[in-house]
Amino acid sequence: MSDPSAPLALTTHLALVSSISFGGFPTVLPDVRNFVVGTHGWMTDQDFANIFAMAQSIPGPNMILMMSFVGWKVWGFPGAVASAFATFGPPCTIYFASYRLWDRFRDAPWQQIVRLGLVPVIMGLVIASGTVMARAADASWPAVALTIAAAAIMLGTRLSPLWMLLAGAALGGLGVL
Amino acid sequence: MTDVAERQELEQAVPLAALFTAFLAVSLCGIGGGGGVVWARRVAVEKRRWLTDSEFADIVSLCQFMPGPNIVGIAVCVGAKMRGTIGAVAATSGFLVIPWVIGLSVGLLFLEYAHLTVLRNILGGIAATAAGLLIATGIRLLLPHRRRPAALLFAVLAFGLITFAKLPLLAVLFGLVPISIALAGIEKARAR
């Protein structure tokens, strides 16, 4: 924090890792932890763990928020803003460019083949991340039942997921789970 | 040709403010990892009918392959699809600006009260529900492919390698996708 080049070093590093974070930002979290806790000592391991838990449980762009809290620790509000831009700026540019390219070949035969092969694998991954989340969240049988019920209601009805999340929050708050 | 014209007209008709508010809602409703996919599908496919399930699945797949926070990518791509560059900016700012300000404030407060048991229990209930919603969304997006045995096989493989074998995401992605695409190519060639 005493080093005036700290914000610049952090921003540059975040911009770099966000550009290579294939598979989502959580894949580069270990690297970010090494950088801010190990190499530079801007915060403790406990600080980093607390920020992670919090980022997981508040709505919104949670990985961008998490990096903003890291920036906040290093350089206050300007640090938070700079870290946010470094985290979403480069990937957004890449998303936009690749979508444009994908859309240009929308009706090409090769793209239909890529789509047929790609989509099922990705959906398997989406379902897997749901079950990985469930493993972390479902510490008891009622919690498992809640996860299954939420999935079934979502598949079978057009009820807004908001009601289910509220019901989940209420059951949790009442200590049923 | 009329089809293209009609499509263009429909795309022009989506106001920028609608893109902004839609992704603001997606952002505020998505709690925890992966929640964004649930809400983005709910809003863009079910409520506003901007895209079909398979167009949405395309975008999710594309974003999975790119670096960065994938949910933001969905905002960028849906915005770009509906209104080009300005649409992407509108959807992305809707997704980011207000939720970021709220998240930063709530986060600072939350760190103060993180030790309260009631708060932890409530978050636990939300997490369990959110996991179920994510599973259901994945199944929904897989449904258009249910008549292809190879599609189901690769979905199950991807699921199993992550959930049971606990392989890293990148290994699964780059291991399965080329084989899956090659098989789809062979199927297409045979069908011809």
Task: State pLDDT tens for residues A28-74.
Answer: 777 888 899 889 999 888 777 777 767 766 777 878 988 998 998 88
Show Cβ contacts of residue A110 under 8 Å, excluding neighbours closer than 6 positions.
none
- pLDDT for residue A28: 78
Radius of gyration of chain B (CA): 19
* Residues B124, A128: C-beta atoms closer than 8 Å: no
**Residue A8 falls inside a structural domain:** yes
pTM, 2 dp: 0.80
- How close does chain A come to B78, measured CA to CA in Å? 9
**Residue A83 falls inside a structural domain:** yes
**Residue A131 falls inside a structural domain:** no
How many angstroms separate the first and last alpha carbons of chain A? Answer: 43
Question: What one-letter code names the amino acid at B111?
Answer: L
Closest CA to B105 of A11, A79, A72: A72
* Residues B155, A114: C-beta atoms closer than 8 Å: no
**DSSP-assigned states of every residue in B144-167:** GGTT-HHHHHHHHHHHHHHHTS--
> Which of chain B's residues have a Cβ under 8 Å away from the Cβ of A101?
none
pLDDT (average), residues A80-87: 94
Q: Which residues 22-41 of chain B have a CB within 8 Å of chain A? A: 27-35, 37-39
> Number of structural domains, chain A?
1
**Domain that includes residue A30, residue range:** 1-104
Contact B177, A117 (CB under 8 A): yes
Q: Environment class of residue A22 by beta-carbon count within 10 Å: exposed (0-12), middle (13-18) or buried (19+)?
A: middle
> Which of chain A's residues have a Cβ under 8 Å away from the Cβ of B134?
126-127, 129-130, 133
Between CA B69 and CA B86 the distance in angstroms is: 20
How many residue contacts between A and B have a Cβ separation below 8 Å? 372
* A86 has a pLDDT exceeding 60: yes
Between CA B89 and CA A84 the distance in angstroms is: 16
Least confident of A82-86, B72-76, B137-141, B168-172: B168-172
pLDDT (average), residues A91-107: 91
Nearest residue of chain B to residue A168 (CA atoms): B125
* Residues A69, B141: C-beta atoms closer than 8 Å: no
**Residue A111 falls inside a structural domain:** no
Residue range A118-172, pLDDT digits in tens: 899 889 888 887 887 788 777 789 999 999 999 999 999 988 888 888 899 899 8
Contact A43, A36 (CB under 8 A): yes
Q: How far is CA B38 from CA A84, A169, B25, B78, B174, in A?
A: 23, 17, 12, 15, 25
**Residue A48 falls inside a structural domain:** yes
* A106 has a pLDDT exceeding 80: yes
Q: Which residue has the higher pLDDT, A83 or B1?
A: A83
- How close does chain A come to B130, measured CA to CA in Å? 7
**Residue A165 falls inside a structural domain:** no
Q: Is the dihedral of CA A150, B78, B22, B71 positive or negative?
A: positive
- pLDDT for residue B77: 95
B69 CB within 8 Å of a chain A CB: yes
Between CA A51 and CA A36 the distance in angstroms is: 13
Between CA A81 and CA A83 the distance in angstroms is: 5
* Residues A132, B177: C-beta atoms closer than 8 Å: no
**Residue A174 falls inside a structural domain:** no
Q: pLDDT grade, residue A97 (50/70/90)?
A: very high
Closest CA to B129 of A81, A128, A167, A49: A167
**Residue A84 falls inside a structural domain:** yes
* Residues B129, A109: C-beta atoms closer than 8 Å: no
Q: Environment class of residue B55 by beta-carbon count within 10 Å: exposed (0-12), middle (13-18) or buried (19+)?
A: middle
Q: pLDDT grade, residue B1 (50/70/90)?
A: very low
Residue range B72-120, pLDDT digits in tens: 899 999 999 999 999 999 999 999 999 999 888 888 787 677 677 887 7
B71 CB within 8 Å of a chain A CB: yes
3-state SS class at A5: coil
Q: pLDDT grade, residue B153 (50/70/90)?
A: very high
Nearest residue of chain A to residue B133 (CA atoms): A151
pLDDT (average), residues B48-55: 93
